[in-house]
Amino acid sequence: MTNNELNELKADFELLRLDYKDEFKKLNYLRSNFVNYFTIKKLNELSIDEYIAGKRQQTFCNRIENELNDWGNIHGSTSIKFGVFFGKKGKDKSQIYRFASRFGTTSEEAFLNIRSSIIELINYGFKEDYDKIKQNLISPMFKGKILSIYYPEKYLNIFASSHLDHFITKLGLINTSKSEIDKQKIIIDFKNNDKLMQKWTIYEFSKFLYKSFNKPADKKTSNSIPDELKKYLSINLPPIEEIECEFINPNIITFGEKQTHDIMTGKYNERNSKNAKIIGDRGELLILKSEREKVKKYKNLNLENKIQQISKSDDYAGYDILSFDENGNEIYIEVKSTKSKSQNLSFIITSNEFEKSKVLQNYYLYIVFEAHSRKPKIWKIKAVDLLNDDKIYIEPSQYRITAKLE
């Protein structure tokens, strides 16, 4: 996502942001009541029936899940996420205390350990001790909800890993962790590093994310879409921390007559696809991540923080990423991404990119094949070597019309 694209989304949201003020005020009142009632002192004295879901209405678990649902949804998973609850489980319809075995061997022992874990979590949350937070045995969604309720200016009120992955992808952020709390921190850091968004409450920021990017489509929702519209749905990409890239060095071979016809008729052209931008952004992010990992190996050069994704701020630079080689020399990278396998290559190069490839000595094309997959393949080639190869097919595809009128 470019800076201009992000600014457009922020401008659209600013028109709606005031609409959330009253909603936030009411919810924050409920949140404050909850926190003021369930103090550390109260939690230390809490009984199992004051905690669990399945018996009373005004318990810790019921209030945090239902009364404060609009603060952040943790429905969708069973009550075992609370560690202990009262009710049935699966085919066993008997109404009894049930608990997660990691907390103990009896319901009472489990509850006491859960209560201690919640108190520890609140204390670690105050200190922003992320290592201790991650080690805490409370389930991830419940853990995230507790932290967000007690510290609404520190922790994101989005808890589902699939939603966090969705927004990390849409915002073009690099993540290497599978931990929900790390994913939340990456998104919050993005907010706080933006001069405008840092003035928003986290509640407003989460509304911005859902307003701008919607929630990720699940299989059930996607299956309900009429068949004739399914091809227009946005592609779902795997979380970037699960991607394993492979660099390849293919040979260019001569086109057959049929392949030349396919290219001329646009069979391989992905530019008309709604998802071309999504694939392009993912490809750039993969190369940015790869280049940062590469320069870490160049000892004593300290280049990692000098790598820049130029395309975010300058559409006319003629390349996407500024990186470095093992000698500290600048290299200029233009990324081309496709869903196609590495046997098929077809991409658009602008006149600006074409000219820059001729004047910049270290100008490289990084072709990302199967960019939507968990195992993309990357071909790194010097642009002049590819463009001067007599086995490639170059076709003019655009013309600019200029006229002076009166």
Round to whole Å and give the CA distance between 252 and 345: 10
For 216-300, strand residue ranges (E) read 246-248
Kindly state whether residue 103 falls inside one of the protein's structural domains.
yes
Kindly state whether residue 115 falls inside one of the protein's structural domains.
yes
Same domain assignment for residues 29 and 145: yes
Q: CA-based angle 340:332:251, to the nearest 5?
A: 40
Same domain assignment for residues 9 and 151: yes
Same domain assignment for residues 151 and 255: no
Same domain assignment for residues 150 and 260: no
Residue 332's DSSP bridge partners are: 322, 363
Kindly state whether residue 395 falls inside one of the protein's structural domains.
no
> What is the number of structural domains in the chain?
2
Kindly state whether residue 329 falls inside one of the protein's structural domains.
yes
Residue 236 predicted with pLDDT over 90: no
Kindly state whether residue 232 falls inside one of the protein's structural domains.
no
Domain boundary among 156, 174, 194: 156
Residue 162 predicted with pLDDT over 60: yes
Residue range(s) defining the domain that contains residue 304:
240-387
- Identify the weakest region by mean pLDDT among 217-221, 270-274, 401-405: 270-274
pLDDT, position 272:
47
The pair of structure tokens assigned to 285 is 């992010």
Domain boundary among 101, 128, 156: 156
Same domain assignment for residues 125 and 248: no
Same domain assignment for residues 383 and 284: yes
pLDDT tens for each residue of 349-388 = 999 999 999 999 999 999 999 999 999 999 999 999 999 9
Kindly state whether residue 111 falls inside one of the protein's structural domains.
yes
- Distances from the Cα of 305 to the Cαs of 94, 124, 163, 301, 324, in angstroms? 58, 30, 28, 11, 11
Round to whole Å and give the CA distance between 349 and 358: 13
Q: What mean pLDDT value characterizes the chain?
A: 92
pLDDT, position 131:
97
Round to whole Å and give the CA distance between 7 and 198: 14
Kindly state whether residue 199 falls inside one of the protein's structural domains.
no
pLDDT tens for each residue of 310-357 = 999 998 999 999 999 999 999 999 999 999 998 888 899 999 999 999
The pair of structure tokens assigned to 273 is 């696809």
Q: Give residue 259's pLDDT band: very low, low, confident or very high (50, 70, 90).
A: low
pLDDT, position 153:
96
pLDDT, position 217:
81
Domain boundary among 95, 130, 156: 156
Same domain assignment for residues 148 and 14: yes
Same domain assignment for residues 151 and 7: yes
Kindly state whether residue 306 falls inside one of the protein's structural domains.
yes
pLDDT, position 268:
47
Round to whole Å and give the CA distance between 185 and 155: 7
The pair of structure tokens assigned to 40 is 């550390």
Same domain assignment for residues 360 and 254: yes
For residues 303 and 293, the answer to whether their CB atoms sit within 8 Å is: no
Round to whole Å and give the CA distance between 133 and 144: 10
Residue 299 predicted with pLDDT over 70: yes
Mean pLDDT of all residues in 297-320: 93
Same domain assignment for residues 135 and 263: no
Taking the CA atoms of residue 133, residue 137, residue 139 and residue 144 in that order, the dihedral angle to the nearest 10 degrees is -20
Q: What is the model's pTM?
A: 0.89
% of the chain with per-residue pLDDT over 90 = 77
Round to whole Å and give the CA distance between 112 and 118: 10
Q: Give residue 257's pLDDT band: very low, low, confident or very high (50, 70, 90).
A: low
pLDDT tens for each residue of 15-46 = 999 889 899 999 999 999 999 999 999 999 99
Residue 124 predicted with pLDDT over 70: yes
